[in-house]
Structure 1
Amino acid sequence: MPLSPPAPRTARHARRVIYQGFEREDGLWDLEGELHDSKMHDAPALRGGGIRRAGEPIHHMWLRVTVNRVLVVQAIEASMDTHPLRECPQARAALQTMVGCTMGRGWRQAIQKNLGGVASCTHLRELLFNLATAAFQTLPAAFASADADEPPRHLGQCTGWDFNGAGVKEYFPQFYGRA
């Protein structure tokens, strides 16, 4: 069901983010994110002066993270087709510090530790944060637990998968009611 109609308003900014996951023939998985920011009106361009026309990107970048079946980062690369400042592409080098990190518990902390502040780019960090969700949706084993007595990682992480909720009771009854 869509949201109820808002009061009259004028669109000023648009951000589109797309995530995709791919299985590779070599047993690894590629997770890709694309971010596109634009203004809905003509505005001054920071780099090069002049005017950036409505709809032209301020940021347009891609990120690819290759993981193994247990979500350990094997490789990472980024492309920045459009960026507001000349120095922005320098932020890509720091991404290599994420190789060896796991897209699981502690993922956001690893991003902040390795890429926080001026070490990298706010927009690349944002893409990385949610790339883990795409990984969990892509890899069949991501929801599984190695220990049959341990609940899958996604249980207890949202309202729908509340240990005391109907979803767990129906699909994972062995963990229903567990704190």
Structure 2
Amino acid sequence: MPLSPPAPRAHLHNRDVSFRGYQRDDGLWDIEAELRDAKTMAFTIPGERTRAAGEPIHGMRIRLTVDDQTVVRAIEVDMEHVPHGPCPEAAAPMQRMVGASLSRGWRRSIEEHLGGIQGCTHLRELLFNMATAAFQTMVRSLTLPDGVPPPFLGKCKTWDFDSPTVEKIYPMFFQRQHERVD
């Protein structure tokens, strides 16, 4: 069902976010995310330069390389467009995420390693959702120990352990409750 017609309004800002998943020839996986912010009119941040309409204020990319167990093996960050001089300093701490798992505790690990002034809000936002993009990319190839449900079970209405979808696709986990640590 479409959204209702909007009230009269002025278009001021665009945020475009995309995620892409790739299977590499070496057996690893690359998950890439990109965020771009731009205003629809010329915009000046106090104490900084004026940007033209459509010129990116933020232009950031992340590439996570993960293994079949969803453990981060490498991370690359590109902060091509940033609003302030110190912003690129947030790229180096991203290396702290190498060795973290996209499965259990991913968000907690991001906050622990990159929370507050240790990192960048926008890079953290991308990282949060890169786990979902990875699971969408890897869903048929996830290596899980026997008896361990895929990490998306129990995370939404459709994937409730008691749902008809789980009964049909993952009958071995139907009506089984598992403790989740996220």
- 2:40 aligned residue: 40
Partner of 1:6, secondary structure, is coil
- 1:177 aligned residue: 175
* Conserved 8 A contact 2:34-2:59: yes
Q: TM-score scaled to structure 2, two decimals?
A: 0.90
1:82-119 C-alpha deviation (Å, 9 max, x unpaired): 10001111110101111111111100000000001111
Q: After TM superposition, which residue ranges in structure 1, 4 or more long, deviate above 3 angstroms?
A: 45-48
Question: 5+ unaligned residues in a row in structure 1: which ranges?
Answer: none
- 2:27 aligned residue: 27
Q: Are residues 15 and 44 of structure 1, via their aligned partners in 2, closer, same or farther at CA, if it must alter by over 3 Å?
A: same
Aligned ranges for residues 30-179 of structure 1 at < 5 Å?
Answer: 30-46=30-46, 48-49=48-49, 51-139=50-138, 140-142=140-142, 145-147=144-146, 149-179=147-177
* Conserved 8 A contact 2:20-2:32: yes
1:62-97 C-alpha deviation (Å, 9 max, x unpaired): 100111111111110101111000111111010111
1:124-163 C-alpha deviation (Å, 9 max, x unpaired): 1111110001110111323x6321x333221111011112
Question: 5+ unaligned residues in a row in structure 2: which ranges?
Answer: 178-182
CA drift at 1:10:
1.4
Q: TM-score scaled to structure 1, two decimals?
A: 0.91
For residues 26 and 64 of structure 2, what CA distance do their matches in structure 1 show? Answer: 15
For residues 149 and 141 of structure 2, what CA distance do their matches in structure 1 show? Answer: 13
Percent identity between matched residues is: 50
**How many pairs were matched up?**
176
For residues 107 and 46 of structure 1, what CA distance do their matches in structure 2 show? Answer: 35
Partner of 2:162, secondary structure, is coil
- 2:3 aligned residue: 3
More displaced 10-residue stretch of structure 1: 54-63 or 167-176: 167-176
Cα RMSD (Å): 1.5
For residues 9 and 43 of structure 2, what CA distance do their matches in structure 1 show? Answer: 19
